[in-house]
Amino acid sequence: MAKKAKVEKITSSDLLKVFWNSWFIQSAWNYERMMGQGYLHGMTPILRKLHPDEKEYLDWVKLHLEFYNTEPHISNIIVGMDIAMEEKGADMETIRGLKSALMGPFAGLGDSMIWLTLLPIIFAIGASMGVTGSLLGPVIAVVVWIAASWAIKYFTLVYGYRYGLGMADLLKGEALVTFREAVSAFGLAMCGALAATYVWGAHTPLVLEVSGVKVVIQDMLNLIMPALLSLIFVLFNWVLLRRGYSLTKTVAVTFVLGFVLALLGILG
């Protein structure tokens, strides 16, 4: 495909429009083409500017409706790179290759950092405040989540555009691996804290009478280690998940077990 004669420069207000539209990336998500339609939605504010020729423009509209699926926040790195390359006159094969080559790795990276670390940690801290009945918990969680996730979505777009393909190399580099490890390590420390604090049901009301002396079992367990039963239940659930139990099945097993133990007076 021939290079275009003249393309207007993409401005930061153009990128801002792309940012707003990028919230609709999975609006019509379906099994057939997943985020295909949403990708085009993100590109529409600048597509005409990038491809002034009508015939060519229509071809690009079709291209951006093709199958696409990745993590919807950091998807904007790919969008940013795409814009930079289309601006330099990249052909359709190149852009199709860019999108399909990057969506897989970025899905894995984004899911583990955003949906499995950032969001759960923010809402776990909010829930720890909310559990006493304070509305401050949900308010703080929402404010922090909006600030963090909007910043990620905006800056991935801007840096993706500015540094183009250099960004992809950076994301495969050593610095990011170390960063991901640090995020996981932090997440696991929070898991430990949650495991010790929020499994209230893991408490036994059992009292034994040994030659006239009452022994409160929970007190004895606390002497061994506080929150020991909580830890046991979390690890029990983890073992089930490791064995390939689905989450719903794990929930069902724990629920029935807890219900029966409570009826027997062992938990409560």
Partner 1 sequence: MNAIQILLLILYAFICGLDMIWVTATGIWRPLVAGAVTGLILGDPATGVTAGALVEFTFLGVFMLGGGSVPEASSGTITATSLVITAALAPQAAVAIAWPVAAFAMNFEIATRSFDAVFIHWADRIAPTGNVRLINLVNILGAVPWALSRAIPVALFLLIGVPAIQAFLAFTPAIFWTALTTAGSLMPACGIAALFNTMYRAEFIPLFLFGFALAAYLKLPMLGIALVAAGLVGGLYVIRRK
Site for partner 1 in 73-132 (CB under 8 A): 73, 107, 111-112, 115-117, 119-121, 123-132
Binding mask 228-267 for partner 1 (x = CB under 8 A): --xx-xxxxxx-xxx----xx-xx--xxxxxx-xxx---x
Element (H, E) at 261: helix 247-263
Q: Which residue has the tokens 């992809």?
A: 168
> Using only C-alpha atoms, what is the Rg of the chain?
26
Phi and psi torsions of 155, nearest 5°:
-70, -30
Nearest to 15 by CA among 165, 226, 159: 159
Subset of residues 158 to 217 that bind partner 1, contact rule: CB under 8 A: 175, 178-179, 181-182, 184-202
Q: Environment class of residue 215 by beta-carbon count within 10 Å: exposed (0-12), middle (13-18) or buried (19+)?
A: exposed
Candidate list 1, 8, 28, 101; residue touching partner 1; CB under 8 A = 28
Q: In terms of CB distance, is 13 or 132 closer to partner 1?
A: 132
Contact status, residue 8 vs residue 14, Cβ threshold 8 Å: no
Taking the complex as a whole, the smallest distance from the CB of residue 4 to partner 1 amounts, in Å, to: 17
Number of residues that bind partner 1 (CB under 8 A): 114
What is the longest distance spanned by two Cα atoms in the chain? 98
Taking the complex as a whole, the smallest distance from the CB of residue 212 to partner 1 amounts, in Å, to: 29
Taking the complex as a whole, the smallest distance from the CB of residue 134 to partner 1 amounts, in Å, to: 7
Taking the complex as a whole, the smallest distance from the CB of residue 43 to partner 1 amounts, in Å, to: 9
Q: In terms of CB distance, is 175 or 213 closer to partner 1?
A: 175
Q: In terms of CB distance, is 208 or 263 closer to partner 1?
A: 263
β-pair partners for 215: 208
Subset of residues 47 to 66 that bind partner 1, contact rule: CB under 8 A: 47, 54, 57-58, 61-62, 65
Q: Are strands 207-210 and 213-216 parallel, antiparallel or unpaired?
A: antiparallel
Which CA distances in Å does 66 have to 40, 41, 90, 95, 206?
9, 12, 17, 12, 62
Taking the complex as a whole, the smallest distance from the CB of residue 213 to partner 1 amounts, in Å, to: 27
Q: In terms of CB distance, is 65 or 85 closer to partner 1?
A: 65
Q: In terms of CB distance, is 4 or 111 closer to partner 1?
A: 111
Please name the amino acid found at residue 248.
Answer: T
